[in-house]
Amino acid sequence: MSPLADRLGPRSDTSLCRTLVRVARSDASPPEVVIAGADVPSASDVTVQRALLAWFQANRRDLPWRRSRDPYEILVSEIMLQQTQVHRVLPYYRAFLESFPSVEALAAAATADVIKAWAGLGYNRRAVNLQRTASYVVDDCAGQFPETVETLRRLPGVGQYTAGAIACFAFEQDVAFIDTNMRRVLHRLMIGVDVPQPSATDREVLAVAKRLVPAGQAWEWNQGLIEFGALQCTARKPACVVCPLQAECKAFPSIQSAIAAVLPGTRRPREQTYDGSNRFYRGRVVAALRDLSNEDAARGIDLRSLGPLVRPGFSDEDIPWLSEVVNGLSRDGLARVAEDRPPYDAELGGDDAPSDIKIRLP
Catalytic (active-site) positions: 78
Asked if 287 and 297 touch (Cβ cutoff 8 Å), the reply is no
In the complex, the smallest distance separating the C-beta of residue 181 from ligand SF4, rounded to whole angstroms, is 11
Rounded distance between C-alpha atoms, residue 264 and residue 13, angstroms: 51
In the complex, the smallest distance separating the C-beta of residue 258 from ligand SF4, rounded to whole angstroms, is 10
Please tell me whether residue 240 binds ligand SF4 under the rule CB under 6 A.
yes
How far, rounded to the nearest angstrom, does the alpha carbon of residue 199 sit from its chain's CA centroid? 26
Please tell me whether residue 334 binds ligand SF4 under the rule CB under 6 A.
no
Span from 239-247, 269-277, 286-294, 304-312 in contact with ligand SF4 (CB under 6 A): 239-247
In the complex, the smallest distance separating the C-beta of residue 20 from ligand SF4, rounded to whole angstroms, is 38
Tell me the backbone φ, ψ of residue 338, rounded to 5 degrees: -135, 145
Selection from 220, 182, 219 nearest residue 81 by Cα = 182
Measured from the CB atom, is 131 or 232 closer to ligand SF4? 232
Selection from 240, 220, 287 nearest residue 50 by Cα = 220
Measured from the CB atom, is 242 or 346 closer to ligand SF4? 242
Interacting positions 251-280 with ligand SF4 (CB under 6 A): 251-252, 255
Instruction: Give just the sign of the alpha carbon dihedral 251, 252, 256, 261.
Output: negative
Per CB under 6 A, the list member of 180, 246, 254, 277 interacting with ligand SF4 is 246
Please tell me whether residue 224 binds ligand SF4 under the rule CB under 6 A.
no
Please tell me whether residue 289 binds ligand SF4 under the rule CB under 6 A.
no
Tell me the H-state helices in the chain. Answer: 3-8, 13-26, 43-59, 71-81, 86-99, 103-108, 111-118, 125-140, 149-152, 160-169, 180-190, 202-212, 218-231, 252-266, 278-290, 294-299, 303-310, 319-331
In the complex, the smallest distance separating the C-beta of residue 53 from ligand SF4, rounded to whole angstroms, is 14
Please tell me whether residue 189 binds ligand SF4 under the rule CB under 6 A.
yes
Please tell me whether residue 52 binds ligand SF4 under the rule CB under 6 A.
no
In the complex, the smallest distance separating the C-beta of residue 150 from ligand SF4, rounded to whole angstroms, is 32
DSSP character string of 140-202 = HSTT----SHHHHTTSTT--HHHHHHHHHHTT--------HHHHHHHHHHHT---SSS-SS-H
Per CB under 6 A, the list member of 75, 165, 243, 329 interacting with ligand SF4 is 243
Rounded distance between C-alpha atoms, residue 326 and residue 309, angstroms: 13
Task: Say what angle helices 43-59 and 218-231 make with each other, to 10 degrees.
Answer: 70
Tell me the backbone φ, ψ of residue 250, rounded to 5 degrees: -70, -25
Measured from the CB atom, is 116 or 187 closer to ligand SF4? 187
Measured from the CB atom, is 118 or 252 closer to ligand SF4? 252
DSSP character string of 10-38 = S--HHHHHHHHHHHHHH--SPPSS--S-S
Span from 92-100, 242-250, 261-269, 322-330 in contact with ligand SF4 (CB under 6 A): 242-250
Measured from the CB atom, is 133 or 222 closer to ligand SF4? 222
Tell me how many residues contact ligand SF4 (CB under 6 A).
14
Please tell me whether residue 232 binds ligand SF4 under the rule CB under 6 A.
yes
Cis? peptide before 196, omega within 30° of 0: yes
Measured from the CB atom, is 240 or 310 closer to ligand SF4? 240
Please tell me whether residue 188 binds ligand SF4 under the rule CB under 6 A.
yes
Residues that bind ligand SF4 in the complex, under the rule CB under 6 A: 188-189, 232-233, 238-240, 243, 245-246, 249, 251-252, 255
